[in-house]
Structure 1
Amino acid sequence: MLLKKLPLLWRVALLTGATVGVALGLVGAVADWTLSRKLVQETDLQMASDARELALALRKTGPLSGGGLPENLENEESSVWEIDHGGTVLYRAPFLQAQDRFTRDGFRCVSSRNRTFRVLVKTQDGYRLTLGRDMRELNAILQKAEIAYLLSFPLALAVAIWGGWFLSGYALRPVQAIAAAAEKIGPHALQGRVEIPTEDPDLARLAQILNAMWERLERAFAQEARLTADASHELRTPLTILRNELEEALAKSRSRQDPGEEVFLSLLEQVRRLTTITENLLFLSYADSGQLQLRFQPLDWSGMVEEVAEDARILAGPRGLAVATSIIPNQRVDGDGELLLRLLWNLVDNAVKYSTAGGSVWITLLEDGPWLALSVANTGPTIEAEDQNAIFQRFYRARSVRGTQAAGSGLGLSLCREIVLAHGGEIRYDSPAEHWNRFTVWLQKRPPDAPDRQPSRKSGDAASSPCPMAV
Structure 2
Amino acid sequence: MIDPGHAQGTEPAVDQAVRTRLHSRGDRLAKRLPGWMGSIRFRLTAVYSVVVFGLASIMVGAIYVGLRYSLQNQKISAMVIQFPGGQTFIQADQAQVVQALVNQRALNALRLYSFGALLALFFMSLAVGWLVSGRMLRPIGEIAATVREIQASDLSRRIELGGPEDELRRLADTFDSMLGRLDEAFEGQRQFIHEASHELRNPLAVIRTNLEVTLADPEASADELRRTAEIVQRSTERMARLVDDLLVYARKGTLSLERDPVDIAGLVDDATEEFLAPAEAAGIRLVADSRPGLWVVGDRLALRQAVANLLANAVRLSPADTTVRVRAGREGPWVWMAVEDEGPGIDPADHDRVFQRFWRGDARQGREQGRSGLGLTIVRQIAEAHGGEVKLVSTIGHGAAFALWLPALPGAGGPDAFSGLR
The structure with the largest helix share of the pair is: 2
If the length of structure 1 is used for normalisation, what is the TM-score? 0.36
When Rg is computed on C-alpha atoms for both structures, the one with the higher figure is 1
Flag the structure with more relative contact order, 1 or 2, with Cα contacts below 8 A and sequence separation at least 6: 1
